[in-house]
Amino acid sequence: MEQTAAQALLIIMAAAVLAPILAELLRKWRIPSVLFELLLGILIGPAVLGWVEVDQFVGGLTELGLAMLFFMAGYEINFSKLKGKPVKLGAIGWGISLAIALAVGVGLAQSGVVISSLLIGLALTTTAIGTLMPMLRDRGLLQSSFGAYILAAGAIGEFGPVIAITILLGPSEPGSELLLLLAFAAIAAMVAAIASRPQPPAVIELMRKHLSTSSQLPVRILLLTLTGLVLLATTLGLDNLLGAFAAGIIAKIALNKEQEEALEPKLEAIGFGFLIPVFFVVSGVKFDLDSLLSSPSTLLKVPVFLVMMLIIRGVPALFLYRKELTVRQRSALSLLQATALPLLVVITQIGLKSGQMRPGNAAALVGAGMLSVLIFPLAGFAVLGKVEGAEPVDQTPAPPGESEALGQISDH
């Protein structure tokens, strides 16, 4: 019997519901629900139960989920507060990681282990800052000095690979891609400049008036910005992830504090409540488990890639931040910024579509990313211990009438 889109979506959403429940049941391990979303996707996909087939409708929702993931990543990172040494050291650290990763990639390509040294190199330099963000928030680390360093390193570890993908993996020559990127940056900067201007009282009142009505006008404007910049990026031949990321940054700039507090739960509801879980569950559905288990050598690549992530992305922090952080903090930072998964999934999908990555390598990389999300944050926060200036979030139930004021924390 042919599966309908509604049937597939029902099973996918059931997995999306089950994932945070499992994360809550195992909350002492602080495993993010994104890991369960991927694992449940593998379970319901062709590799195991075969309950879900990815058709055009589900594929379209998945693309929307990916765009929303990068929109939220851009939105959650407050670049206006990431200045000075944290950004400088984060950029230098990512540059060092990129140089090491590309050298490793060249060696792997020459030995015949991988096809593209560039793809494997970029994959090994990513940081899952969107996955780490709620963990940092729960521990009250976002406003601490340590939080500034991990946020800057993580933001560059996510934004840097997106830029590199746009320039180096686009359909045009790198020189042409760079010119197109500059054109996109100029337009995005112009939009950001307009968005940063103080809003006239009439506009503020209009936004406030329609925030709680069925029109949800402010939400529609933000989604219009997202779709507009994604369309602009794709029209210029750039990766749509860049447009989504830029839209998130602009949204953060445009909103005043009151609007931000009111809109953030709504954006999280759309993103983390629906579209983003669909992306991760379907990514699990598409996960090529057969390729991973096809031979012992392919399975062995999982721990090898995991160690490479730690060495390439983590080890530079031990030396780079020696004047800024204690030994414990540097060790924790190296583990946390070696955590990778969302962008890793994206890069492997690009590699598979372009024929520049073998299915076994793609599966091993994603498998290593899953282990990094499971192992590195646990180890990192255990090593970190208490941090001066940290104010853990009180997660006790709120009294009636106060729950709305507390906001919502995402599990991604």
**332 band by pLDDT with thresholds 50, 70 and 90:** very high
H, E, C per residue of 8-44: HHHHHHHHHHHHHHHHHHCHHHCCCHHHHHHHHHHHH
Burial of 30 from C-beta contacts in 10 A (0-12 / 13-18 / 19+)? middle
pLDDT at 41 over 70: yes
Determine how many CB atoms are found less than 10 A away from the CB of residue 97.
29
Q: Which residue has the higher pLDDT, 131 or 356?
A: 356
Give the residue among 404, 288, 276 at the shortest CA–CA distance from 19.
276
Which pTM does this prediction carry?
0.81
At residue 309, does pLDDT exceed 90?
yes
User: Which of 66-75, 110-119, 162-171 comes out lowest in average pLDDT?
Assistant: 162-171
pLDDT of residue 233: 86
pLDDT of residue 258: 82
Measured at the CA of 86, the angle between CA 185 and CA 271, to 5 degrees, comes to 55
* Confidence check: pLDDT of 173 > 70: no
What's the average model confidence in pLDDT over 105-133? 87
Confidence check: pLDDT of 168 > 50: yes
Bigger pLDDT: 49 or 411?
A: 49
Contact 346, 333 (CB under 8 A): no
Residue 36 above 60 pLDDT? yes
pLDDT value at residue 44: 94
Phi, psi angles (nearest 5°) of residue 316: -55, -30
Distance from C-alpha of 387 to C-alpha of 141, rounded to nearest angstrom = 8
Phi, psi of 283 (to 5 degrees): -60, -40
Averaged confidence pLDDT in the chain = 84
| Spatial separation of the C-alpha atoms in residues 392 and 377, rounded to whole Å | 16
Mean pLDDT value across residues 319-325: 91
Q: Which of 233, 272, 238 is nearest to 407 (CA)?
A: 272
**Which tens digit of pLDDT belongs to each residue from 339-388?**
998 788 888 888 888 888 889 999 999 999 989 988 898 899 889 877 76
Say if domain 5-387 classifies as CATH 3.30.70.100: no
Give the pLDDT score at 388.
66
Burial class (CB in 10 A: 0-12, 13-18, 19+), 409: middle
